[in-house]
Amino acid sequence: MQSRFRSDRRLTVRMTVTLFLLGLLYVAFVAALIVLLKSWVLVVVIAGGMLGAQYWFSDRIALFAMRGRVVEREEYPELHAVVDRLCAIADMPKPVVAVSQMDMPNAFATGRNPDNAVVCVTTGLLRRLEPAELEGVLAHELSHVAHKDVAVITIASFLGVIAGLIVRFAFYSQLFGGGRRDQNTAVVFAAVMAVSAAVYAISFLLIRALSRYRELAADRAAALLTGRPSALASALTKVTGDIARIPTKDLRTAQAFNAFYFTPALGAEPGLARIFSTHPSLEQRLEQLGRISTELGETALPGKAD
């Protein structure tokens, strides 16, 4: 079913190209592992099983990792009311609504399609945002579901996860068991580690490029759906500033899911993390929302910046 979120052809093209390139990389990766490990059954079963698990259970994995739980209307009536209203406007199925008991102000969407999606917000976000700001954030997350880019990111991140796990396994296996192996085995392990590291690096860059654009696309779609780009800009400014004040040690658990968040869990001085961020800079996002606000002839919220 087509939602009323503004379609984005450039996002569709980027998702298609990214999946195609990652598909080629995935095939090459599996082929290289089969040649090196000389067991195609083992490689295919493990890779296929993990891909299936990530595709079918990504929503549950994300909720568990971020301490989120599904909430009913009786517990959070205002939150459900906003989601209901946005889904009615967008003409899309209502996702499962969840809340994470975290002080970090953030939100994310996950799921393999609009009929099997979850939108989760943290208690820190609910406590900090005004109703119009919360509506903008939720519209942003729902646009990820409607455009299906959340499913693409879930699938795309799988290859990097597998490659990263293999690199760690090979490293620790060599570190703690190198003395018990012959030279041929050591060469195979080194080759597997090198191939996995290369695959991880390539998939990392491809996913970052897609992720940054999809965040701008979601901001644009949410602003046009709600007609209140200034409210979304205000939420972005508030959330980004508050996250920067949260101790870095409290953000580490959340950083593995940065690609799914409304804003990345970066500290006050992210350094190189900013260069390889899953999101465009706050300045880029605010600049785009400012242009949309001008196009719509919107009056900014009192005391808020576009």
Whether 140 has a binding-site annotation, put simply, is: yes
Number of CB atoms found within 10 A of residue 187's CB: 12
Is residue 118 within 8 A of residue 83, CB to CB? The reply is no
> Is 279 labeled as ligand-binding?
no
Residue 215 labelled as part of a binding site: yes
Contacts of 57 by beta carbon, 8 Å cutoff, 6+ apart: none
Phi-psi domain of 260 (left: phi exceeds 0; alpha: psi -120 through 50; beta: other): alpha
Closest CA to 103 of 252, 232, 255, 246: 246
Task: Give catalytic residues, as residue numbers.
Answer: 141
Binding-site residue ranges for Zn(2+):
140, 144, 215
Binding-site residue ranges:
140, 144, 215
